[in-house]
Structure 1
Amino acid sequence: MSKATPLLRLLNVLLAPGMRTRKDPDAVFDRLLEEVQRGRVPLGADDLAEVDGLRLLLADHAGNPDLSGLGWMSTQDQIRDRLRNRAAVHDIQANHPEVRDEPVTAPVFVVGLPRTGTTLTYNLIARSPGNRGPKLWEMNNLGLPRPAAEREKLIAAARKRYAVVGKVSPGWAHLHPLIADGEEEDFMLRAHTEMYATWGPAPRYLDYVAGADLTDDFLFLRAALQVMAAGEAPAHWVLKHPMDLWRMPEILRAFPDARFVWTHRAPAAAVASGCSMAEATHMMYIKPGRIDLDRIGKEWLGISAGGVERAIKLRQEVPDDAVVDVVYDDLLADPKTVMHGVFDRLDLPWSETDDANLAASLDRTGHRPHAYTLERYGLDETQVAEAFSAYQIPPSVLR
């Protein structure tokens, strides 16, 4: 993993004075809430209760002695984005109640741990004619559909914002490029996910999420999708986030006709990749030289293995025909046949556009493979196998 860049060190120095506000994270959270509601219909008690977990998240990171200046600013920015989303949807629903009737028909959720083929699968389904996934720029600027000129300005602004990530943490930019007008993960609209622990240690927040029923989070996701595509609803929304895997029953309560594509792979690569992702994010949030790789390994093994075990148990609550299993090795060996099978199971047509999308997705020109190992994070294959003892990759069904 790359060392701290000169830009990162400079930003941490410049932002150090702002660290004083960490002493009162509740006051910071209240200020963020006031800011996002300014000029909008105020949030009600129910909305405020549903985002209160973010108050705990902010306090967890504020209490981390290894948090950097950039990390504290970024933590506030991320939480501000989530609070703004809630405030924007509430305001739009109040002023345009008709958006509540916008159709969200049979959305597809691509679920699976990192490096199991989720990105390829997600992009192909989301970019199929008639479908779409939420774009990064619009999740950061949640609102009703905009005219083309305004949309382009917002995309350009988002492009500048995320270009900084590549300069501050080249490892993260390589591992998960943030493309302003590209499809991104649905947690960027919602309030709660274990993914926020990639910023740094957040033990109380992780305990909160582990015991939380996130049905409201997904009801809010539905409302956000209605706002984003008001009058322009796609045939199918397509969503993706690894931690959605163990939330399928909650998702079905919000989207009763949802379908799931669960990608499977031997878990060692997924765990190592998750650790690498956490390390790359820590680079932006934690003081140089203070990243605890062994802690990352232990935490992400627990999150991944515990989540998959939970998903296995919860799958019995999900209709059999609601889940399509995709085996990574099959997808790698014969992507066209496997993806044809996925589309057939989802009752989606396959077109020449999908052929072109598949060819583009498989073009690795200029791609530099990302290297990561379990050993870097104090783990080995035996530990991973024991942690995932309840998990078995299903037999090939789409070839």
Structure 2
Amino acid sequence: MKPDTIRIADLGAPRLTDIQRQAIASAPPVVMSEGAVLAAARHHTGLSDFGADDFRERLGIWLKSFDEDKDLGPLGRAGLFGDAVRYASARLRFEDLVKRYPEIRTVAIDRPIIIAGLPRSGTTHLVNILAADPRLRSMQLWETMEPIPATKEKIVTGEVDPRFVRTREMWGGFETMLPLMPAMHEMAPDHVHEDIALQGLDFSSYLPEWQSRAHRWRDYYYGHDQTPHYAYGRRVLQALTWLKGPDRWVLKSPPHMENLLPLITTYSDATVVITHRDPVAVIQSAITMLAYGDRIRRSTIDLKGLANYWIDRVEHLLRACVRDRDALPASQSLDVLFDDYMADQETVITRVYKMAGLPLTREAKARIHAYLSANPRGKHGRVLYDLKGDFGVDVAALRERFGFYYERFSVKPERVTGDQP
């Protein structure tokens, strides 16, 4: 095996490090109740007005889903509870900010560039490339973690934002605990992250599913139109623009694939870029990453159950995309095949700029080239996957199941372990 290749051989029976054992043992017990979450958020912020109360129903379903996931371990439960408190705290701060500065409601969001695509399909790389252009506003990881600053905390121009410092410390500790994670998905505080966090403040999106088997929430989410939650997220985006411009955004999130109609309803002048990659390769990568993280989140590892959950989940994303793709205006939407993007990134970037009506200036090109040079694919090592061996997935049957998607978008199958020779 080459020095820069990584094979995680203990996914199903993790050999925990001392750091991982200590983190699990020191996780505080939590009560998954609305009252506990909201009380913690009030205490954390010193605020009490959450705005419209409809979010409470969704929060309650999140928490019930976590309680029903019996294989969640103490660290997994504490992490999910902490996420709920973090979103509730951000909601309090957002509602307080708009109350004090009502002009935020009139802030323009100008022709955003929004990237949709399966997890692990190049969306993170593409959004970070475009975000290198200073004319575009983006959400870095630290800002998604704490979108609205605390009123008592001074943000001094020219100094590092304390929210950035906290995120760097938190994710530094996370990567110390799970050192192979950057090879699968780097989470540096200054990397552009998903705008899915905007909907977290309204307790929607598929956020809970990434760290738990949130069956109850998933079914509720499927049954409800997401347009109101996209609209809430847009309001948060107005606040972020008011705090710091410019007003033209580049955003990305995988759930946009199953919410193309709410997306274009909310951002009617958006340029929507949809990346397409072999879903078998996507699933192989995504569930390996999730399984690796599950060693600290879950008391029992069920690799087959994890695979089944995300195969179903990805199919839902793809069928919704196929169903609604033609509802997007042709002059505002672009399909990008992963293979084409990897082979010729500059041509894809040029196409995006042209459709967005944004001149590709010399400065933009220089910044984009600098980002590409500093972030080659696989710079943290290359993970070796085994979809059949690790997860017991019948690769041929899976390809047949996703035939509707390969055909609709001319997606090329990628070679994965378990393919027939």
RMSD: 2.3
Return the alpha-carbon distance in structure 2 between the equivalents of residues 120 and 351 of structure 1: 20
- Counterpart for residue 360 of structure 1: 371
Q: Secondary structure at the match of 2:346?
A: helix
- Counterpart for residue 419 of structure 2: none
1:123 to 122, 128, 131: 128
Matched, 1:48 2:53: yes
Residues 105-139 of structure 1 show CA distances to partners (whole Å, capped at 9, x for unaligned) of 11111111123221222112222230021112122
Change (3 A) 1:237 1:304: same
Residues 88-108 of structure 1 show CA distances to partners (whole Å, capped at 9, x for unaligned) of 221111110001111111111
- Counterpart for residue 267 of structure 1: 279
Return the alpha-carbon distance in structure 2 between the equivalents of residues 65 and 353 of structure 1: 53
- Counterpart for residue 415 of structure 2: none
Percent of pairs with identical residues: 23
- Counterpart for residue 222 of structure 2: 210
2:386 to 358, 373, 379: 373
8 Å Cα contact 2:124-2:193 kept in structure 1: no
Return the alpha-carbon distance in structure 2 between the equivalents of residues 215 and 51 of structure 1: 17
1:237 to 231, 237, 249: 249
Structure 1, gaps ≥5 residues long: none
- The one-letter code sitting in structure 1 at the alignment partner of 2:286 is G
Shift of residue 6, structure 1, vs aligned partner: 1.4
8 Å Cα contact 1:26-1:55 kept in structure 2: yes
Return the alpha-carbon distance in structure 1 between the equivalents of residues 159 and 22 of structure 2: 33
Change (3 A) 1:243 1:372: farther
Change (3 A) 1:115 1:312: same
Return the alpha-carbon distance in structure 2 between the equivalents of residues 30 and 299 of structure 1: 30
8 Å Cα contact 1:111-1:244 kept in structure 2: yes
Task: Identify the structure with the greater helix proportion.
Answer: 1
- Say which is worse superposed, 360-369 or 253-262, in terms of deviation: 360-369
Q: Secondary structure at the match of 2:90?
A: helix
2:178 to 144, 160, 169: 169
Within a 5 Å distance, the mapping from 1:186-205 to structure 2 comes to 186-191=195-200, 192-205=204-217
| TM-score under structure 2 length normalisation | 0.85
Return the alpha-carbon distance in structure 2 between the equivalents of residues 119 and 26 of structure 1: 33
Return the alpha-carbon distance in structure 1 between the equivalents of residues 293 and 233 of structure 2: 24
- Counterpart for residue 388 of structure 1: 402
8 Å Cα contact 2:132-2:371 kept in structure 1: no
- The one-letter code sitting in structure 2 at the alignment partner of 1:131 is L
- Counterpart for residue 87 of structure 1: 92
8 Å Cα contact 2:288-2:385 kept in structure 1: yes
Return the alpha-carbon distance in structure 1 between the equivalents of residues 159 and 396 of structure 2: 53
Structure 2, gaps ≥5 residues long: 1-7, 412-421
Shift of residue 304, structure 1, vs aligned partner: 0.6
Return the alpha-carbon distance in structure 1 between the equivalents of residues 207 and 99 of structure 2: 31
8 Å Cα contact 1:104-1:233 kept in structure 2: no
- Counterpart for residue 116 of structure 2: 111
Change (3 A) 1:120 1:33: closer
8 Å Cα contact 1:265-1:393 kept in structure 2: no
Return the alpha-carbon distance in structure 2 between the equivalents of residues 341 and 244 of structure 1: 20
